[in-house]
A and B are shown apart, each in its own frame.
Chain A
Amino acid sequence: AQSVTQLGSHVSVSEGALVLLRCNYSSSVPPYLFWYVQYPNQGLQLLLKYTTGATLVKGINGFEAEFKKSETSFHLTKPSAHMSDAAEYFCAVSPGIQGGSEKLVFGKGTKLTVNP
């Protein structure tokens, strides 16, 4: 069974500072990995995804994530935080091409606060 752990339910950074949101996964097969963002009173929207190929993935709004198989991690980063980045971020995993399932398993989320 797959699982996702997001370290830190709340992260606070200053505007202009580095954003680092941590995600570790557990999967018995090569997974597909996703980061979603949720703004207040909205649904989730895709930030970026890793399926195959390059392990450093760039997404929208200046975010990127690196798939590290040896560390079973897929941490999300952004060099300089902006006030508009304040939101809740979810990491998710699917079992990939070998898993035969279209279902995603979500982490519990990390709420990002950006201080002026």
Chain B
Amino acid sequence: NAGVTQTPKFRILKIGQSMTLQCTQDMNHNYMYWYRQDPGMGLKLIYYSVGAGITDKGEVPNGYNVSRSTTEDFPLRLELAAPSQTSVYFCASSYFGTGGNQPQHFGDGTRLSIL
């Protein structure tokens, strides 16, 4: 009963390095999302996908890239890491639901520090 699995759980990067945050779900959900969570700021949507091969920008996409080659996987790529990208990153997924009435299922997050 895995649900949404994120790896790694923790990571420290140096400024300018790149990395990929992995996200996979086993619920056959069409929709997948990446959020970042900063203290006192709630969750901000970075990118989302409505199905394999289709992605779109959210509220804060700068500095990130995504791809969706399969239903299960939705990796988030950080290019040229900057201190402002220090955050907790959450991946989520949901069934297609008209107007968004389907709840999102979240992974446990990746805690990323850029030093």
Contacts and interface: CB of A to CB of B under 8 A. Distances in A.
Contacts of A51: 101
Interface stretch (B14-22, B64-72, B76-84, B92-100): B92-100
A106 B50 contact: no
A31 to B, nearest CB: 9
Interface stretch (A13-21, A69-77, A88-96): A88-96
Interface size grouping (class) on chain A: 20 to 34
Contacts of B99: 32, 94-102
Contact of B98 (A36, A44, A97): A97
Contacts of A46: 103-104
Q: Is the interface of A mostly helix, strand, loop or mixed?
A: loop
B107 to A, nearest CB: 5
Interface in A26-69: 32, 34, 36, 41-46, 49, 51
Interface of B: 4, 31, 33, 40-43, 45, 48, 50, 58, 90, 92, 94, 96-104, 106-109
